[in-house]
Amino acid sequence: MTAKQTSNGSKPSTQQKTQETTASPSIQVTSLKGSSNQLKSQISSFDLEIQNKGSLSPIEILVDSLADVETDEERAELYQSIQDYLSQSEQFIQDADRMLHLRQKYISLANSRKQEAKRLNALASAAQHKADQIEERVLDVMGKLHPDETKYSFPSFEMKSKIVSNVIDIDYLDVDMEEIPLDCQEVSVSIKKTAIKTHIKNGAHFKGVTMSSSRKYRFE
């Protein structure tokens, strides 16, 4: 459909504005729900604010840089720079408060990205399921129409097949595990810390297992 032309100086029609918005390469046209758009907006704003180092104090820049260092020498230099700055600064409380605000932004960014990743994973799984269903239906019909065909050409696609041999199927309800050699078994063992804590409190002792107390800190 062609947009309605307007004379010079006139306002573009609603239809024209809609088409220009849709065709603009700078705007992503999706069918995302409002909540998803809100998450994407949050992620974008957090990214911009965190990346804008010019708005951060020197101590915030130093602390934020710790996440990017790769060697112990670089990390030691940064720690020394932080120590030097704090020893000269009389505004540690204010600087620490600003850093904790930055920490909160990272937490919000992480939570937003987790939600977005969860939503995208669900969409990807649903799309893959639909694709698999379509393939199964086409193969089912082909099996009835051309049961002896192992290769078939469509206008845009080709159906191919190959023999897959030596496939092992295991009925775990019927198999006798004692007959299966140990080198053919996979065993995973983990310690339930909550359960073992109860045993230790009741006086039990286990080699390599200790129970201690420590103070944990958190910011609220």
User: DSSP string spanning 159-206?
Assistant: E------S-----TTT--GGGS-GGG--------HHHHHHHHHTT---
Count CA within 13 A, CB hemisphere, residue 54: 1
Which pLDDT score is estimated for 31? 41
The reply to whether 81 falls in a domain is: yes
The reply to whether 89 falls in a domain is: yes
3-state secondary structure of 77: helix
Residue by residue, pLDDT tens for the chain (220 residues) are 444 444 444 444 434 444 443 333 333 334 444 545 555 565 555 555 555 544 566 667 777 777 777 788 888 887 887 777 777 666 667 777 877 888 888 888 899 999 999 999 999 999 999 999 999 999 999 999 998 888 999 999 999 998 888 888 888 889 888 888 888 888 888 889 999 899 988 988 888 988 888 887 776 7
Which pLDDT score is estimated for 28? 39
Which pLDDT score is estimated for 129? 95
Helix axes 34-51, 92-145, angle to 10 degrees: 140
The reply to whether 13 falls in a domain is: no
Beta strands in the chain (DSSP E): 152-153, 158-159
Count CA within 13 A, CB hemisphere, residue 87: 6
Separation CA 201–CA 6 (nearest Å): 83
Beta strands in 45-199 (DSSP E): 152-153, 158-159
Which pLDDT score is estimated for 17? 40
User: Can you list the alpha helix ranges (DSSP code H) found in the chain?
Assistant: 14-23, 34-51, 58-65, 72-88, 92-145, 193-201
The reply to whether 203 falls in a domain is: no
Which residue, 102, 122, 117, is CA-closest to 40? 117
Which pLDDT score is estimated for 131? 94
Domain that holds residue 95: 34-130
Separation CA 220–CA 213 (nearest Å): 22
Which pLDDT score is estimated for 79? 80
The reply to whether 109 falls in a domain is: yes
The reply to whether 72 falls in a domain is: yes
Which pLDDT score is estimated for 9? 45
The reply to whether 146 falls in a domain is: no
> How many structural domains are present in the chain?
1
Which pLDDT score is estimated for 128? 95
Q: How do residues 135-180 score in pLDDT, each as one tens digit?
A: 999 999 999 999 888 899 999 999 999 888 888 888 888 988 888 8
The reply to whether 38 falls in a domain is: yes
Strand partners, 152: 159
3-state secondary structure of 56: coil
